[in-house]
């Protein structure tokens, strides 16, 4: 994909993703008026978990408590029961307790706005930190998950080996006005059409712009 084609690609993506279900973090953000804490917790729950499971688990947990202080009052076992069957639910319940404790002790119960500070919280990696910054605080950042990493490289827009490298490459090349929404566009596209194995290239409106790097078989 040439650099001048990214504008047309973004326009197509915005139109195409309307046919698919909104990612769970976007739903939580919209329903909570972009509450950074609920976005943070839903991001944590979503790791290695399908959106439907994450959405249901988030709803059960937030029905019990949706602030650091209130969540910390719940037993770890209560949190486990609420979020089951998300992946690694016991580990995540423990991380939620530790995360809430640190927010209260260090940040007066408020979710920090910087990526570096967010990454000091239990269970929070760079992807989650970027999502909280961009979705929760509407601050510039690029959340790179496996879909963003894969598709950006498949297009030939970047040439990187890891999501961390992809984030830095996109920061250098992607127009800043697209940073916040890039993840929102590529996640549903990657889940539903530009899949890891045998993507639906015959149905892709970006086929003429895509270098199809690494695509061995397609539909």
DSSP string, 26-52: HHHHHHTTS-HHHHHHHHHHHTTS-HH
Round to whole Å and give the CA distance between 197 and 35.
35
Selecting among 145, 159, 184, 205, the annotated active-site residue is: 145
127 is catalytic: yes
> 75: which 2 tokens?
């037993």
Selecting among 35, 92, 127, 184, the annotated active-site residue is: 127
Picking from 134, 142, 167, the residue whose alpha carbon sits closest to that of residue 153 is 167
Do residues 68 and 100 lie in contact, with contact meaning Cβ atoms separated by under 8 Å?
yes
Q: Element (H or E) spanning 53, and its range?
A: helix 51-64
Round to whole Å and give the CA distance between 41 and 54.
10
Picking from 59, 75, 45, 34, the residue whose alpha carbon sits closest to that of residue 180 is 34
Residue 43 CB partners (closer than 8 Å, separation 6+): 25, 127, 128, 131, 132
211 is catalytic: no
Round to whole Å and give the CA distance between 136 and 26.
10
Residues that are catalytic: 127, 145
């Amino acid at each position: 994909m040439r650099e001048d084609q990214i504008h047309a690609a973004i326009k197509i993506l915005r139109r195409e993703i309307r046919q698919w279900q909104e990612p769970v973090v976007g739903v939580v953000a919209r329903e909570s008026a972009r509450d950074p804490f609920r976005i943070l917790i839903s991001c944590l729950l979503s790791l290695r978990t399908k959106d439907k499971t994450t959405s249901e688990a988030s709803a059960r947990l937030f029905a019990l408590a949706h602030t650091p202080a209130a969540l910390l009052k719940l037993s770890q076992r209560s949190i486990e029961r609420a979020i089951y069957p998300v992946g690694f639910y016991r580990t995540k319940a423990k991380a939620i307790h530790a995360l809430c404790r640190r927010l209260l002790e260090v940040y007066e119960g408020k979710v920090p706005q910087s990526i570096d500070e967010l990454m000091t919280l239990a269970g929070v990696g760079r992807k989650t930190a970027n999502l909280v910054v961009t979705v929760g605080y509407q601050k510039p950042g690029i959340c790179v998950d496996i879909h963003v990493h894969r598709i950006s490289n498949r297009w030939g827009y970047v040439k990187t080996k890891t999501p961390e490298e992809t984030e830095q490459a996109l920061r250098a090349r992607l127009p800043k006005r697209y940073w916040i929404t890039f993840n929102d566009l590529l996640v549903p596209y990657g889940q539903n059409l530009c899949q890891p194995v045998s993507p639906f290239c015959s149905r892709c409106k970006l086929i003429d712009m895509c270098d199809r790097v690494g695509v061995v078989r397609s539909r």
